[in-house]
């Protein structure tokens, strides 16, 4: 696919995410890492991961895809969201690239094979914004019999959504809230865009699981949990796993209390009442 669209001699439009940023010459979009260089989109994190780790697939979290296997997880820097609770803010909310060592796509695949990983996960920060690098890795991974996993906020462009069908095997999407106001004012995105992506993946051949971080006094009301549960059950499917995770104070929300276990248990009851078959609690010991 084309990753940008030429607009005029001073501007291009990035086609990676639903922000569809118009980039002036030598300037970046909201993610801070995709630039207009000589009329072409250039991703400055290409080949420069900020983190490479071997993780259980359940940490993504994916509970119904290659269970008990390990996934080579990689991330870069930058993000197209501005979540004040981000636990990976040290890499997601910076555009500073550590270019000390270059990792070609084949290098990443070789590391995965060496460590007997069954998949490669594009995670830690939003992989949509470094899609060209992820896809180049992913195509080589498929040739070697590895699966490809996205961990995303669900803000892929229409072009990327379509392109993902050719190489992505599984995805976990964060449904962070069911409030358009919260998405717009706090996260600087659009809820409808995320819901569109969720519906797209639910109808595709890509395995889908959903995660919601339950934050006290933000998205933990019965009304909001019911709206999310209803959307999942009626628009996506009752067989799609839903992970309800506990919030722990971090980044710009250090004064917010952690999520009580009873809140998660109550949210799970609501989800179950809507017929959602598999509901899991995360970041807690129950």
The single-letter DSSP state of residue 94 is -
Nearest to 263 by CA among 221, 233, 229, 228: 221
Using pLDDT thresholds of 50, 70 and 90, give the confidence band for residue 60.
very high
Q: Taking residues 104-133, what's their average pLDDT?
A: 98
- Return the DSSP state at 58: G
State the average pLDDT for the chain. 97
Whether 114 maps to a domain, the answer reads yes
CA neighbor of 190 nearest in space, from 199, 198, 200, 180: 180
Q: How far is CA 166 from the centre of its chain?
A: 18
Q: Is residue 12 part of a domain?
A: no
What would the two tokens of residue 271 be?
A: 């989800």
Residue 25 lies in a domain: no
Confidence of residue 151 (pLDDT cuts 50, 70, 90): very high
Is residue 120 in a domain? yes
Strands of the chain, DSSP E: 4-6, 11-14, 22-24, 34-37, 40-43, 51-56, 70-75, 119-122, 147-152, 170-174, 207-214, 242-246, 279-282
pLDDT per residue over 186-209, tens digit each? 999 999 999 999 999 999 999 999
- CATH classification of the domain holding 163: 3.20.20.70
Has residue 3 been placed in a domain?
no
Residue 259, pLDDT above cutoff 80 = yes
Provide the residue range defining the domain that includes 247: 50-282
In this structure, is residue 55 part of a structural domain?
A: yes
146 part of a folded domain: yes
Tokens of 36: 């207009």
Residue 206: φ, ψ to 5°: -90, 130
pLDDT band at 286 (very low <50, low <70, confident <90, very high): low
CA distance 235 to 226: 14
* DSSP 8-state secondary structure symbol assigned to residue 16: S
How many whole angstroms separate alpha carbon 270 and alpha carbon 228?
10
Q: How many domains does the chain have?
A: 1
Q: Is residue 22 part of a domain?
A: no
């Amino acid at each position: 696919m084309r990753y940008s669209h030429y607009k005029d001699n001073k501007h291009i439009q990035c086609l990676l995410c639903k922000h569809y940023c118009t980039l002036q010459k030598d300037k970046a979009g909201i993610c801070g890492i995709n630039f207009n260089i000589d009329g072409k989109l250039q991703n400055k994190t290409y080949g420069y991961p900020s983190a490479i780790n071997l993780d259980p697939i359940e940490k993504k979290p994916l509970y119904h895809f290659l269970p008990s296997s390990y996934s080579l997880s990689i991330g870069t820097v930058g993000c197209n969201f501005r979540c004040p609770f981000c636990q990976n803010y040290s890499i997601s909310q910076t555009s500073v690239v550590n270019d000390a060592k270059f990792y070609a796509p084949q290098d990443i695949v070789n590391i995965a094979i060496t460590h007997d990983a069954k998949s490669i996960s594009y995670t830690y920060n939003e992989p949509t914004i470094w899609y060209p690098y992820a896809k180049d890795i992913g195509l080589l991974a498929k040739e070697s019999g590895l699966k490809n996993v996205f961990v995303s906020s669900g803000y892929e462009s229409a072009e990327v959504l379509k392109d993902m069908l050719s190489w992505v095997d599984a995805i976990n999407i964060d449904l962070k809230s069911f409030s358009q106001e919260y998405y717009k004012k706090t996260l600087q995105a659009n809820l409808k865009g995320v819901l569109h992506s969720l519906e797209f993946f639910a109808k595709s051949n890509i395995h889908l699981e959903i995660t919601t971080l339950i934050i006290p006094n933000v998205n933990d009301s019965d009304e909001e949990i019911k709206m999310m549960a209803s959307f999942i059950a009626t628009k996506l499917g009752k067989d799609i796993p839903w992970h309800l995770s506990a919030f722990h104070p971090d980044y710009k929300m250090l004064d917010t209390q952690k999520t009580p276990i009873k809140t998660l248990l109550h949210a799970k009851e609501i989800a179950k009442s809507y017929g959602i078959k598999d509901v899991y609690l995360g970041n807690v010991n129950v």
